[in-house]
Amino acid sequence: MLTEVMSTIDNGEYLEETEMSVAQWMQTWTRDFLGSVKIGTKEGYEAVVKNHIIPCLGSIRMKDLQLLTVQRFVNRLSEKGMNPKTVKNVHGILHRGLQMAVRIGYLKKNPSDGIILPRIEQEEVHPLDKPELSKLLKSIQGHEHEVLINTAIFTGMRSGELLGLTWDCVDFENNRILIKREVIRTREDGNNCFKLVDHTKCRTEETQSDERNIPVDSSVMDILRGVKRDFPSDTYVFVNKTGNHLYPSKIYDRLRDICSATGVTYRGTHKMRFWCVSAMYEKNIPEHVIMKYAGHKDVSTTRHYNRSRFFDSKNDDEVRNLFAI
């Protein structure tokens, strides 16, 4: 052991572990090392550090933090009734922060490696079935957000992508939509606000950061033509009365009201993506095509969205025509 230590010193590889506490380091990490994540994600990390990690582990010096202590911390979260998925997220944030400490030499190894996490039961997601979809589509006829909801259902675009869609990205000639921007929540001068950003600045670990050009059903394009004709806007496709982009909370509230009035179970706008991906699987679209269409980095994410049987192969034209109900 002594020989190994002397060797690391002679080779210039020895780094003395930090005297910082877990609280000091995790606050430093969230402040200085999360510049590449979305503001909402960063705020979520900060809340977990403040509400869960610091109260239990904050006073411990980083170099004294042991695997057993972290395991007991995780066990205690479960014993308090925290959802297993949330426990996993809390551990993941702690692990990521400690891994950065290892990377810059503040720790020799990550004490949160090898932790036994509670089992997560796979969430059973039930996308809209065809009767519900038909009822929903009939109920939104003439509604101020009819076109937006139709586009969400039949393209599987994310809410931020829909609200950030601009006319220069709608290709009527080839029935395609270029997805390269989205509206995200951010903070300026201490206040929450929304702004349009390129995909390269707002994607997460599970989603691709590059733009994607998707084929779109001709019926959706016809609806969009009507919007462009009747409600011309220089930039955004979906606008409010002042001509600015819509806000996510408004869409959630309106969709919830519509579902309540029609007897359709409200599943949120994100669950519409499950229906779209499932429909593509049902139409035999190749899995790698679905993954790129949905904007996923990894096929395992795409498979999570699938609530249908899996078949093999078809092509671009199938994507355009797969939404006949």
Placement of tokens 């509670």 in the chain: 118
Q: What DSSP line would sit under 283-312, residue for residue?
A: TT--HHHHHHHHTBSSHHHHHHH--S----
Can you give the pTM of this predicted structure? 0.69
Q: How far apart are CA 58 and CA 37, in angstroms?
A: 24
Letter string b/e over residues 13-48, b meaning 16 or more CB atoms within 10 A of that residue's CB: eeeeebebbbbebbbbbbeeebeebbbeebbebbeb
Domains recognised in the chain with CATH numbers: 2-103 (1.10.150.130), 130-320 (1.10.443.10)
Tell me the mean pLDDT in the region 256-261: 88
Q: What's the pLDDT tens digit per position in 55-65?
A: 999 999 999 99
Q: What confidence tier does 183 reach under pLDDT thresholds 50, 70, 90? A: confident
- pLDDT score recorded for residue 85: 92
Residues whose CB is less than 8 angstroms from the CB of residue 250 and which lie 6 or more positions away in sequence, other chains included: none
Provide Rg for the chain, Cα atoms. Answer: 24
Specify the pLDDT at position 36: 77
